A and B are shown apart, each in its own frame.
Chain A
Amino acid sequence: MKRRTFIMTGTALGATMPFARIARADGAISWWYETATPEQQGIIARDIVEPFNAAHPGETLAIDYRGDQLDNQLRIAMLSGTGPDIVYTAGPAYVAPMAHAGQLLELDDFAAQFGWNDRILPVFLEMGRYDGKLYALPKTYETLGLFYNASLLAEHGWTPPATIEEMETLADAMLEAGILPFASGNAQWRGNNEHYVSLALNSIAGPENVYKALKGELPWTAAPFVAAITRLNDWWQKGYFGPNYFSISTEQMVVELAAGRAGMMPSGTWQFENIPTYFTGDGPEAGFVGFPSLAGAGDPIFPLGVGSTFSIAASSQNAGGAAAVIDYVFSDDAYSRLNTDWQGEWNMPLADLSGVTLGDGVLPLYTQAMQVLAQSVSENEYGYTTWTFLPPATDSFLINGIEEVWLGRRTVEDYLQELDDTFRQEMGEGKVPAVPAR
């Protein structure tokens, strides 16, 4: 207990404070970043730090890599008022409590000064509001869809599915051919479970119902959600996810898809990072479509996700400098550089991409998918990812509890009942993130 206590309450506090003070003492604009490989750190230095410093004489941007402990360290440091200038949260769910606690600076004046209200897609500005005031901007937005092995499908005379029913027919055919329908897995990251729940909720229950549930107007135990989770469970029981789901890591999913051992991969746009590695020049070709909706329900729905956000600490002594950094990240120049060098990670929600120029090496499939996504968002045809719009304990239960359904330890109804109970409690505590009006 003593060691655990120390880890939980003491280490982060002790470890973060001295560094925070040092970062501020040298006058630099401080920004704590998450895990990044040396190559990725090189991209950030080349595409953000160097151009920003060059364009802003007198200001110095200093990025400190905190690894996967960023979230814990940031929360403790913010509590003690010693965090970085640029607050890089793990998602909108963290913005409301931080804003409520007075740890974040209102950004409305900066938004007016820098023209963010015109430059950023309105729906994302809404997600960063608390009590009507702007506190956060999304670093990147992402969505879920259906990757597939185009070469494998062509070889068998199959076509990418346009409806859920077509997808199930295709999956059954794959099973008969000895091919795993879904390249999927959650080894090393159990959070992958929620990708499939998000898809089922949005594509089967529908985004309107999800919106109502997020606003507390419809319980999560309502019939559309029972139907959605029941269908997801049916897919599991039929073997669409395969026998090795709990053994396969996120990257191994792509390996299975590229090797033709699996035919489809329901996953997020972040997988575009891995596609060029495994779908190489002479090898199989990858494809990507929106995850299909029920027959007659219209176009595929793209559940919208925001993985992390930018805010400015209320205690920042250089708020203007921090705002200038955020403004640079949302510039055409930074978008072009970052999306050329590091696809899938820096998809800032710019309203107009006409000033963006991507390099020749960018995967055409990625460019095309991002254009379709931006178009869908601008036409309000989007859904809701659970990790962006659910409060923390509800999301945590959604991830872990679905395994109990899949493994026959709980019924769909019991699962949704506990999900609803947890959601109601967190809603009462004001923890539900902002949900943009449809």
Chain B
Amino acid sequence: MHRLFVLPTILINAVIIVIPALFTVALAFFRWDGISAPVFVGMANFHALWGDRVFWTALGNNIIWTALFLTVPIGIGLVVATMLLVARRGAMFFQVIYFLPMVIATVVLARVWQGMIYSPISGVNGMLQRMGFPTLDPLTQPSTALYGIATVDLWHWWGFLCVIFFAALRQVPQEQIESARIEGASFWQMMRYVLLPGIRPTITLMMIMTVIWSFLVFDFVYILTQGGPAFSSEVLSTLAYRSAFYDLAVGKAAAVAVVISVFGLAATAFYIRVQGREFEQ
């Protein structure tokens, strides 16, 4: 009887995850415009991706994005969360401030940065240019577009990690922290030998999720540059979206989605393995 309790979850998962996922995998082997009947083409969509320079640019950008998000926000989040732990005064206030960008809609944040900060017409950038500073809108240069978008996403993301890490740090036994202090540990020694080992499972989880989320990144890229200029900020999900809804090449889009899922599944498998090991210990 108790097994019935899992039935709703299984049903929901089957309907909104498993069945669409299986359909997507199947569609990757078809040519389909989303309107007429699909035509089976075997591996042709994957062959087409292999020879598509935009696909490789997008994959490279996803890898750069992952590297950025595995380092910058996690680093800032850890340092600031530790500082909040050490200097407790105002911790609540700063948590709210840091978390605030997370509760604002993505499209609003993106438009604010695009129109009020980066824009050479209506933004801070334009004001600086009129004052004689040779600034550029990073979204308009192929060499900087991806980093311009990442800056916006990092700004809105690191506070979330900071709050998560701060919550985890508060679970580190107080005795360990006190003994380290009595032993004369410096701030960095405290981090290296007491705090970071204490919240390692949380850091691992956040890093695994960062890998998965980085291969799913879509909203900020699509709103700010739509993958341009000249495909320079294209990522796999914007490529899939453009293929499905502009090129009407749903099969190719599904093939891109399968590639995205491979990275997500690899990260998930790695996490499950790490978790299994920790559980055994």
Contacts and interface: CB of A to CB of B under 8 A. Distances in A.
Interface of A: 1-6, 8-10, 71-72, 75-76, 78-79, 94, 97-98, 100-101, 103, 186-188, 190, 243-248, 252, 255-256, 392-393, 395-397, 400, 403-404, 406-407, 409, 429, 431
B229 A403 contact: yes
Given A8-B24, A8-B257, A246-B137, A97 B228 contact: no
Interface stretch (B64-72, B87-95, B243-251, B270-278): B243-251
Interface string B137-149: 1011010000000
19 contacts: A2-B261, A5-B17, A5-B20, A5-B23, A5-B261, A8-B253, A9-B20, A75-B34, A79-B35, A97-B248, A98-B35, A101-B35, A101-B37, A248-B121, A393-B247, A397-B247, A400-B231, A404-B230, A409-B230
B9 interface: no
Contact of A244 (B121, B240, B247, B257): B121
B24 A246 contact: no
B142 A396 contact: no
B78 to A, nearest CB: 27
Interface stretch (B112-120, B152-160, B188-196, B198-206): B112-120
Contacts, number: 129
B242 A396 contact: yes
Contact of B35 (A9, A75, A244, A256): A75
Interface string B30-70: 00011111000000000000000000000000000000000
B5 to A, nearest CB: 23
Contacts of A256: 121
A188 B110 CA distance: 11
B120 A247 contact: yes
Given A1-B261, A246-B139, A97 B24 contact: no
Interface of B: 16-17, 20-21, 23-24, 27, 33-37, 114, 118-122, 137, 139-140, 142, 215-216, 218, 225-231, 237, 240-242, 244-249, 253-254, 257-258, 260-261, 264-265
B20 A247 contact: no
A392 B246 contact: yes
Nearest to B23: A9
A244 B140 contact: yes
A395 B249 CA distance: 13
A94 to B, nearest CB: 7
A190 B226 contact: yes
B34 A404 contact: no
Contacts of B139: 187, 246-247
Nearest to A3: B216
B264 A407 contact: no
Contacts of B257: 1, 4-5, 8
B126 to A, nearest CB: 9
Contact of B36 (A6, A100, A392, A409): A100
A244 B36 CA distance: 41
Nearest to B142: A407
Contacts of B230: 400, 403-404, 406-407, 409
Contacts of A255: 121
Given A1-B257, A247-B139, A392 B35 contact: no
Given A244-B120, A393-B247, A97 B240 contact: no
A252 B126 CA distance: 14
Contacts of A103: 35
A408 to B, nearest CB: 9
A400 B142 CA distance: 13
Given A246-B229, A403-B229, A5 B37 contact: no
Contacts of B17: 2, 5-6
B252 to A, nearest CB: 9
Contacts of B254: 8
Contacts of B242: 396, 400
B16 A6 contact: yes
A8 B249 contact: no
B164 to A, nearest CB: 20
A243 B37 CA distance: 45
Contacts of A186: 228
A392 B34 CA distance: 12
Nearest to B244: A8
Contacts of B260: 1, 4
B35 A190 contact: no
A1 B122 CA distance: 36
Contacts of A404: 230-231
A4 B257 CA distance: 8
B35 A396 contact: no
A213 B74 CA distance: 54
A191 to B, nearest CB: 9
B119 to A, nearest CB: 5
Contacts of A76: 34
B21 A396 contact: no
Given A1-B264, A187-B114, A409-B142, A8 B240 contact: yes
A72 B245 contact: yes
Contact of B121 (A79, A188, A252): A252
B56 to A, nearest CB: 14
A395 to B, nearest CB: 8
Given A2-B261, A9-B24, A246-B229, 5 more contacts: A3-B216, A4-B218, A244-B137, A245-B140, A246-B137
